[in-house]
Structure 1
Amino acid sequence: MLDYEAEADAYDATRGGEPRAGAAAEAVLGLVPKDAGRLLDVACGTGIVTRRLAAGRPGLRVAGADLTHAMARLAVARLPGAVVRADCRRLPVRDQAFEAVTTIWLLHLLQGPEDVRAVVTECARALRPGGVYLTTVDKAAAHDVGSDIDAALEVRPRRPALDAAETVAEYAAVCGLVPAGQARFPGVGQGRSPRTTIKDLRRGWFTTTGPGDPTGDLIAARLAALPDQDRPRPDPVFTLRAFRKD
């Protein structure tokens, strides 16, 4: 797991910046009901997407929550007075307080199925009837774009995806949430190059192949042998699912 306290200052620059944030916000707002009054962005990170959600729908009151102090500090600068530090499994909000709740690029980071279930349950609790919960799913799969880099990474161990679409839908159903649409959007600027993938490998991006792992050394050698070391391969395409609270 990456240290998001340490990652915060460079996070936006290494994750596609404003173009990626814009693509995410556009996809989210396309699934938020037009008459929604309040939206909570859970695990809002630096607030780069949260701010765009607020700017993209002037009548929508947007708040953010994030557990990491350094991330929340940056989010507060973007949305003064609208961001709190909070554990996404125990949100400090009243029942049925929002017409929309989002978890963008969160569920895949959690420790296990129980945490994912807890987050979905909390988001459902915070929703008013008729409101929507929106979340990205299958994030790791989004990065498999069929490139030579993906072929080099194929030997790494894989864990079952915590944010698998079917699994998230099952948790949502238990909470009284029904499917209400989906969208896809590009991870602009996140296409991998061999050289950046080696750096990510060495700093623990791939959680099943940590620094010093023999498999990691094998993958690094395979990546180093690829042509065009600094040419980004295609951007990932993320999937966003919406669920309505009946």
Structure 2
Amino acid sequence: MLDYDVEAARYDATRGGVPRARSAARAVLALVPEPAGTLLDVGCGTGLVSERLMRPGLRVFGVDASSGMLGAAAGRLGPAVVQGDCRRLPFADDSLDAVSAVWLLHLLPDAPAVVAECARVLRPGGTFVTTVDKDAAHDVHSDVDRLIAPFRVRRANDAASRITAVASEHGLRRVGEARFTGHGQGRSPARMAGDVQRGYFASALLLDEETSGTLVKELALLPDPEVPRGDPVYRLLALRKES
């Protein structure tokens, strides 16, 4: 997994920046009923999405384990951000109207523990919104994706069926879903080759030195090497805590 304290300085610039964050925030808000007085963004990172969740009548909090990420988030959310473990959220039972987790659960083998915590801090009738099936969003069947596919690590941490089942065990019932575009995430062959060479995908691709070199050479043979391929489309689920 990436060192997010180090990654914080370049995170937004390499993840689609404001357009991607705005797209995610709009989709999350579309699944949160009004009025909703409080929303906790779990794994808030630099706060780029969290900042765009703010609206009149909605107080947004952020929590993240990385001090580097929180340094950036504090500049956007001020004192509403706190360092904490998503498996032990620093909020009381039944205290929040909504909880979001965007691009988080796919990273965590113990994702069920996070879902349980999100359910704990939600008030009855509150809504949990989370991305699911993140890896599948990158299967857009471009020439770059076809070369990468055999090496991709298939993680089921955030599989929709798994998250829905775990959520049900903690009193959360699925009530809706949405999709949004991950602007700026469609890589060109040249960008993908550079990222592979830098080891950027160390936790996402099964590559050794030999296969990495072969993949870089194959990417160099693709047409239009500087042209980005299609952006991924991410999936969100909304789950409501039963009274």
TM range (shorter): over 0.9
Q: 2:184 aligns with which of 185, 189, 205?
A: 189
Equivalenced residue count is: 241
- Preserved CA contact (<8 Å) 2:177 2:237: yes
- SS across alignment from 2:186: coil
Counterpart AA for 1:237: V
CA distance 1:157–1:37, change in 2 (3 Å): closer
CA drift of 1:235 comes to: 0.6
The match for 1:69 is 67
For residues 42-57 of structure 1, the aligned pairs below 5 Å read 42-54=42-54, 57=55
- Preserved CA contact (<8 Å) 1:200 1:206: no
- SS across alignment from 2:123: strand
CA drift of 1:210 comes to: 5.8
Counterpart AA for 2:129: L
Q: TM-score, normalised by structure 2?
A: 0.95
CA drift of 1:189 comes to: 1.4
Mapped partners of 2:74, 2:204: distance in 1: 33
5+ residue gaps, structure 1? none
Counterpart AA for 1:169: T
1:245 aligns with 2:218: no
CA drift of 1:211 comes to: 6.5
- Preserved CA contact (<8 Å) 2:96 2:122: yes
Q: 2:218 aligns with which of 201, 205, 222?
A: 222
Deviations, residues 127-156 of structure 1 (Å, cap 9, x unaligned): 000001000011111011110001111221
Mapped partners of 1:177, 1:155: distance in 2: 35
Mapped partners of 2:202, 2:177: distance in 1: 27
Note the aligned Cα RMSD (angstroms): 1.3
The match for 2:227 is 231
The match for 2:173 is 178
- SS across alignment from 2:13: helix
Mapped partners of 1:32, 1:208: distance in 2: 31
- Preserved CA contact (<8 Å) 2:106 2:155: no
CA distance 1:241–1:206, change in 2 (3 Å): farther
1:159 aligns with 2:146: no
CA drift of 1:199 comes to: 2.3
Identity of aligned residues (%): 53
Mapped partners of 2:230, 2:171: distance in 1: 37
5+ residue gaps, structure 2? none
The match for 1:37 is 37
- Preserved CA contact (<8 Å) 1:134 1:241: yes
1:83 aligns with 2:77: no
Deviations, residues 130-186 of structure 1 (Å, cap 9, x unaligned): 001000011111011110001111221533321111111111111110001000000
CA distance 1:68–1:143, change in 2 (3 Å): same
CA drift of 1:213 comes to: 3.5
1:139 aligns with 2:134: yes
- SS across alignment from 1:133: strand
